[in-house]
Amino acid sequence: MADPAPSRPAEDKSLYTIRGLTKIYGEGSTAVHALRGIDLELYKSDMVVLLGASGSGKSTFLNIVGGLDEATDGQVFFEGRELTALATSELTEYRRNSVSFVFQFYNLVASLTARENVALITEIADDPMTPEEALALVGLEKRIDHFPSQLSGGEQQRVAIARAIAKRPKVMFCDEPTGALDSQTGVIVLDALDQINRELGTTTLLITHNVVIADMADRLLRFADGSLIEDRDNPDRVAPSKLRW
Q: Footprint of ligand ATP on this chain (CB under 6 A)?
A: 25-26, 32, 34, 52, 54-60
Q: In Å, what is the CA distance from 184 to each residue of 61, 153, 175, 241?
A: 28, 12, 19, 9
> Which amino acid does the sequence have at 161?
I
The helix or strand, by DSSP H or E, that contains position 207, with its residue range, turns out to be: strand 203-207
Alpha-carbon distance 215 to 185, whole Å?
A: 18
- Listed in sequence order, the residues at least 6 apart from 210 whose beta carbon sits closer than 8 Å to its beta carbon are 178, 245
Choose one: 39-47, 135-143, 150-158, 203-211; the region binding other proteins (CB under 8 A).
150-158
Decide: is 33 part of the binding site for other proteins (CB under 8 A). Answer: no
Check binding of 59 to Mg ion (CB under 5 A): yes
Tell me the closest approach of the beta carbon of residue 168 to Mg ion, in angstroms.
Answer: 26
| Shortest Å distance, C-beta 13 to ligand ATP | 27
Residue 159: which of other proteins, Mg ion, ligand ATP, none does it interact with, CB under 5 to 8 A by kind?
A: none
Using CB under 8 A as the binding rule, whether residue 149 contacts other proteins is answered as: yes
| Amino acid found at 240 | P
What is the layout of strands, in order, in the sheet containing 99-103?
A: 99-103, 171-175, 203-207, 47-52, 219-224, 227-233
User: Which position among 73, 147, 170, 225 is part of the footprint of other proteins (CB under 8 A)?
Assistant: 147
Give CA–CA dist 64/58, Å, rounded: 10
Among the listed ranges 72-80, 116-124, 192-200, 203-211, the one in contact with other proteins (CB under 8 A) is 116-124
Q: x/- site string to other proteins, residues 77 to 96, per CB under 8 A?
A: ------------x--xxxxx
200 conformational bin, left if phi > 0, alpha if psi -120 to 50, beta if neither: alpha
Which residues of the shown chain bind other proteins in the complex (CB under 8 A)? 59, 63, 68-69, 89, 92-97, 99-101, 103-105, 107-113, 116-117, 119-121, 123-124, 145-150, 153, 156, 163
Which residues of the shown chain bind Mg ion in the complex (CB under 5 A)? 59
